[in-house]
Amino acid sequence: MAPPIDHPCLHLHVLPGAFFVRKLEPNQLDDTLKSIFMGSQDDGEAFLSITRSSEELSVVGQYQDWMPEAYKEFAGWRAIKIAGPMEFNLTGVLSGFIEPLKKAEVGIFAVSTWNTDYVLVSKDDLETAVEALKTDHWTFASE
């Protein structure tokens, strides 16, 4: 399903670098995550999403060279961002975005923020994902 409208807020960006996805125990917020969150080891621009439930702490972020090996082993992902910001009454964007990936048999990990959505795909599936989205008439912004 192509995007519901052709608007710059729905253009896609492949973000640079590797991303990690980790599952931790609910209270396992380590010093590395605190450093990323506070921007003390980088320029404060690195992507980081932390979601905690009673069962787990899910952490998604941009891998940085200074991170310990425990993060590097989970850094096999690339991120595609919908430009945003999107209005909340704009419906079906995420489902339309992942439908061509489903058809191309590309597994995803989705993260939503107030402004937009990010979909992570295996670094090995990035080319297939981009091609599937272009075939479905999604526009990639030139950077």
* DSSP characters over 104-136: TT---EEEE-SS-EEEEEEGGGHHHHHHHHHHT
Torsion of CA 13, 81, 37, 67, to 10 degrees: -60
Q: Distance between CA 83 and CA 89 in Å, rounded?
A: 16
Q: Which pLDDT score is estimated for 137?
A: 92
Confidence (pTM):
0.86
Domains and CATH numbers, the chain: 1-17+76-138 (3.30.2130.10), 19-75 (no CATH)
Q: Distance between CA 38 and CA 137 in Å, rounded?
A: 38
Q: Which pLDDT score is estimated for 92?
A: 81
Render each residue's pLDDT in the chain as its tens digit; 143 residues. Answer: 566 667 788 889 999 999 999 888 877 766 666 666 666 565 667 788 888 888 988 889 999 888 888 888 999 999 999 888 888 777 788 888 999 999 999 999 999 999 999 999 999 999 999 999 999 999 998 64
Q: Is 84 helix (H, G, I), strand (E, B) or coil?
A: coil
Determine how many CB atoms are found less than 10 A away from the CB of residue 87: 8
Q: Which pLDDT score is estimated for 133?
A: 95
